Structure 1
C-alpha cells in the first residue's frame, strides 16, 4: 500500500518533485566540484613539495648563513689570472657552496641517532660559475694630425704626433650551473630521489670517489651531453653515466656527483649543506623536529608543513579560493537548497489538506501520514542526489580535461636552507625564479566524496520530510470537511 500510494503521488506531482530534486542536485553538485578541485589542489601541492623536497623525505636540517664579518664586503668576487697579449681562449671556474652554511658531516650520524629518525643522509650544494673567453691586446698607432706651433726666429712650424691605442679588449662568456654532491650509498633520500634515470645508469655504492656524473635532462639538452660525454669542473674531468628526468616540474639541479668528490670541488672536506631526514612515523614529524632542534643547536629543521606555507603563485591563490570561498559557498547553497526543499514540501502538504484529512478520517494514524510524506521527500532527495552526482562528476571531468595550468613558487622559509635548501633549491636567500614551476590541475573524485553526496541527499530528504510530515501530522479530519466547498 505504501509503495503504490508513494508512486501514485509522485507521478501526480512530477513538476514539484523535479523542482525539489534539482534544487538539491545543484547544491550537491557544487559540493562535489569544490571537494574534487580541493583534492586536485592538494595533489598539485604534493607534487611541488616532492619535486623540491625528495620522495620519502620528511624534513631537512640546515644552518643559516652567518653574517659577513667586519671589513668584508660579503659580496661575490672572482679572481681571474689573464694571460697577457694572448688571443687564445682562457677559462676559469669559481666553485662555492650554496643553500646555507656548511655543516660538519658528523652531524649526519648524530641526526640519524635521534629518537624517531629512520634514516638521515647528507648532501652538499655547489654553484659553479664558469668564465671563458679571451683578451686581445690593443695596438699603439701614431696620429697623422698634430698641433701646429710657431717655430723659432725662422718663423717655421712643427707638428707633434699624438700616439693612440686602438683595438684590444676582452670577450668572455659566463655560465652558472648547480652541482649536487649526493651520498651514493643511500640514494633513496636526497636530491636525486626526486628524479628517475631515463638514460644510462645511476651511481653504484662503490663510486664514492669516482669522477662520474649524472646530469639533468634539461641541462644535458642544453649542453648536448649524452651518456659517455665528458666535461670539466675546475680542471677535474667527469664522465656522464646517466641522464635524470625529474618526477614532476623542472629539475633545480643540473649535475649530480658523488658527495666526496663534490666536497673536494667546493673545498669543503667533511662538510654538507643539507641533511635529509626520514621519520619512523609520519604522524610524529613535529615531535621529531622538536627533538632535533633541542639536541642539535644552531640548526634549522624544516618540515613539509613549513614548506607548504611558503608556496605562492596561482596555485596558492586557487587553493585558498577552493578552501575558503568555495566551501562557504557550498554550505550556503546547500542550506538554501535544504530550506527550499523543506518549504516546497510543506507547501505541498498544505495543498493536500483534503487528502490527508480524508485518510485520517478513514483511520490512518498520524505516524502513517508522516511516514508517507517523509517517504516522498526521501525519494525526491535520492533523485536529487543522483542528479547532483552526475552534474558534479561532469564538472570534475571538465576541469581534468581542460587541465588549467597553475604556477607555484617556493618562497623563503626563513631558515638556513629549509626544504628548498637542498641541492639546486638554493635555500632561502638563494631561491628565485629557478624554484617556480607549472602544475596541471586535475579534479579527482573519491569514493568519500560520492558517499558525502549520498549523505547530503538523504539529509535533504529527511529535513524536507520532517517539516512536511510535522505539518501533515497536525491535520484533523475536520480540516478536510471544512475544505469541501
Structure 2
C-alpha cells in the first residue's frame, strides 16, 4: 500500500519532485567538485614538497651558515698559471658546499637516536663552478715616424725615430659552467635527495659503491650535456662515469649530479661532514613532537617539516589552493544549505496544497505517523534522486578538470640557512638563487575518492530527511475537519 501510494503521488507531482531533486543535485555536485579540486591541490602541493624533500622524508635538519669573517670572501676564486705560449687552454674547478653550514656526520646517528625518529640519513650538497678557456698573448709593435728637423741625437741629418712599443691583440676567452652535486648515502637511498628520482636509463648505486667513481645525472642535465650511460666527465680532476639517468617524480630536479657521499666529502674538502640530514618519523601524526625533540636535544640546528615548506609555496598553486579551501568550501556549504532550505520549503508548500488529501486519509483512519511516513518517504526518494544526479554532475565536473589539467605554478622559497651561490662570480647568484627561489609547474587534477561519494550520499539522505521532517511535521498537525472546510 505504502509503495503503491508513494509511486502514484510522485508520478502526479513530477515537476515539483524534479525541482526539489535539481536543487539538491546542484548543491551536492558543487560539494563534490570543490572537494575533488581541493584533493588535487593537496596532491599538487605534495608533488612540490616531494621534489624538494624526497619520498618518505618528514623533515630535514640543517644549520644556518655563519657570516664570513672580516677580510674573507665566500665567493669562488680561480688561479691560472702564466705561460709563455701564445695560446694556452686552462681549466679550473671550484667546489663549494651549498646551502647551510656543514654538520658533523656523527649528528646523523644522534638524530636517528631521538625519540620518534624511524631513520635518518645525511647528504652533502655541493656547487661546482667550472671555468675553462684560453689566454692569447698580445704582440708588441712599435710605431715609427719621420723627423723633419735637424736630426735627433745619434741621427745626423734627420731620419726615422722609433716610439714606445704598444701591445696589440691578445686577451682571454673563458666559459663558465655551474652545476649542483649531491653526495648520497648509497646504503640508504630510500631516504634523501635521490629518493624522489626515478631511474629511467641505466641503474642506480649499489650499497658497495661507497668509493666508486660513478654518478647518476638528472635527465635535464644529461640532455644539456649530451650525457648517456657510460659517458665520463671530470669534477676537479676526478673522472666519473655515468651509470644512470634519473627523472624526478614531479616537476624538475634542483640537483644535476648524484655521487657517493664519501667522494662528495673528498671533493668538497668536507671530510665526515654533511649539509642536510633527512629524517623519517615513526608516526606521521607526531612530526611536530619529533621536531621539538630534535630541536631541544641538538642545539644550533634548524628542523624543517613539510608544513614549514608548504608555507613557502606561492604562485598560482597557492592562490588556487587558498580559494578552494576557503572561498570554495564556504560557497559549497552556502549553496548546500540553500538547497536544503529550498527542498524543505517546497515540500512544506506541497503539503499545504494537499490539505484535503491528508485530511481525508485521517478521516478514513490513517494515524498521523502514516501520513508523516508518506511525506518523509516521498522526500527521501527526491533526495536520493537528487543525490544520484548530483554525483553524476560532480564526477563529470571533476573529470573535465582532470581532462583539461590546467597548469599551476608553484614558487618555493628555500628554508635553509644561507645559499651556496656563486657569490659575485660570473653570472651572479647562480645556483644559490635557484636554492632560494624555485619555480615549478604542476598539472592540476581533481580525483574523486570514495569518501567524497559517501559524503554525497549522506548529504542526499540528509536533505531528504530535512525536507521530509518539515513536511511531515506539518502534515501530522492536520485534522480531518480541515478537509471538510476545504471542500467547496
Shared fold (TM-score, shorter chain, > 0.5)? yes
Q: 3-state SS of the aligned residue for 1:193?
A: coil
Q: Determine the structure 2 residue equivalent to 1:340.
A: 342
Residues 415-468 of structure 1: CA deviation (Å, up to 9, x unaligned):
569xxxxxxxx99976245x3221111111111101100111111111111111
Distance 2:5 2:21 in 1: 19
Is there any run of 5+ residues in structure 1 with no aligned partner, and where? Answer: 418-425
Q: 3-state SS of the aligned residue for 1:179?
A: strand
1:264 paired to 2:263 = no
Distance 1:129 1:346 in 2: 77
The answer to whether the Cα contact below 8 Å between 2:92 and 2:236 also exists between their aligned partners in 1 is yes
More divergent stretch after superposition (206-215 vs 37-46): 206-215
What's the offset of the Cα at 1:262?
A: 0.6
What's the offset of the Cα at 1:149?
A: 8.2
Which of 408, 428, 431 is equivalent to 2:410? 408
- Shift in CA distance, 32/167, structure 1 to aligned 2, threshold 3 Å: same
Q: 3-state SS of the aligned residue for 1:315?
A: helix
The answer to whether the Cα contact below 8 Å between 1:150 and 1:158 also exists between their aligned partners in 2 is no
The answer to whether the Cα contact below 8 Å between 2:62 and 2:416 also exists between their aligned partners in 1 is no
Q: Determine the structure 2 residue equivalent to 1:110.
A: 110
1:73-152 residue pairs with structure 2 within 5 A? 74-84=73-83, 85-143=85-143
Q: Determine the structure 2 residue equivalent to 1:251.
A: 253
The answer to whether the Cα contact below 8 Å between 2:216 and 2:258 also exists between their aligned partners in 1 is yes
Residues 268-327 of structure 1: CA deviation (Å, up to 9, x unaligned):
111110111122222222221111111110011111121122111211111111110110
1:431 paired to 2:435 = yes
Distance 1:413 1:259 in 2: 23
What's the offset of the Cα at 1:196?
A: 2.1
- Shift in CA distance, 227/104, structure 1 to aligned 2, threshold 3 Å: same
Q: Determine the structure 1 residue equivalent to 2:194.
A: 192
Distance 2:200 2:75 in 1: 36
Q: 3-state SS of the aligned residue for 2:123?
A: strand
The answer to whether the Cα contact below 8 Å between 2:100 and 2:416 also exists between their aligned partners in 1 is no
Distance 1:225 1:475 in 2: 85
1:206-245 residue pairs with structure 2 within 5 A? 206-245=208-247
Distance 1:27 1:473 in 2: 29
- Shift in CA distance, 145/374, structure 1 to aligned 2, threshold 3 Å: farther
Distance 2:391 2:167 in 1: 82
Q: 3-state SS of the aligned residue for 1:431?
A: helix
1:375 paired to 2:377 = yes
More divergent stretch after superposition (322-331 vs 461-470): 461-470
Q: 3-state SS of the aligned residue for 1:409?
A: strand
Q: 3-state SS of the aligned residue for 2:435?
A: coil
More divergent stretch after superposition (121-130 vs 272-281): 272-281
Q: Determine the structure 1 residue equivalent to 2:53.
A: 53
Report the aligned-residue RMSD: 2.3
Q: Determine the structure 2 residue equivalent to 1:67.
A: 67
Distance 1:25 1:389 in 2: 7
Q: Determine the structure 2 residue equivalent to 1:483.
A: 486
Distance 1:415 1:178 in 2: 17
- Shift in CA distance, 456/428, structure 1 to aligned 2, threshold 3 Å: farther
Distance 1:441 1:120 in 2: 32
- Shift in CA distance, 306/149, structure 1 to aligned 2, threshold 3 Å: farther
Q: Determine the structure 2 residue equivalent to 1:422.
A: none
Equivalent residue pairs, number: 474
The answer to whether the Cα contact below 8 Å between 2:409 and 2:441 also exists between their aligned partners in 1 is yes
The answer to whether the Cα contact below 8 Å between 1:411 and 1:428 also exists between their aligned partners in 2 is no
Q: Determine the structure 1 residue equivalent to 2:171.
A: 169
The answer to whether the Cα contact below 8 Å between 1:181 and 1:256 also exists between their aligned partners in 2 is yes
1:374-393 residue pairs with structure 2 within 5 A? 374-393=376-395
Distance 1:49 1:268 in 2: 28
- Shift in CA distance, 89/349, structure 1 to aligned 2, threshold 3 Å: same
Q: 3-state SS of the aligned residue for 2:182?
A: strand
Residues 371-411 of structure 1: CA deviation (Å, up to 9, x unaligned):
11111111111110010000001001111111111112211
The answer to whether the Cα contact below 8 Å between 2:143 and 2:162 also exists between their aligned partners in 1 is no
1:425-464 residue pairs with structure 2 within 5 A? 431-433=435-437, 435-464=438-467
The answer to whether the Cα contact below 8 Å between 1:61 and 1:301 also exists between their aligned partners in 2 is yes
- Shift in CA distance, 144/18, structure 1 to aligned 2, threshold 3 Å: farther
What's the offset of the Cα at 1:228?
A: 1.5
Is there any run of 5+ residues in structure 2 with no aligned partner, and where? Answer: 420-429
Distance 2:356 2:157 in 1: 140
1:313-332 residue pairs with structure 2 within 5 A? 313-332=315-334
Q: 3-state SS of the aligned residue for 1:191?
A: coil
TM-score (norm 2): 0.92
Consecutive aligned runs of 4 or more in structure 1 exceeding 6 Å deviation: 152-160, 426-429
- Shift in CA distance, 351/388, structure 1 to aligned 2, threshold 3 Å: same
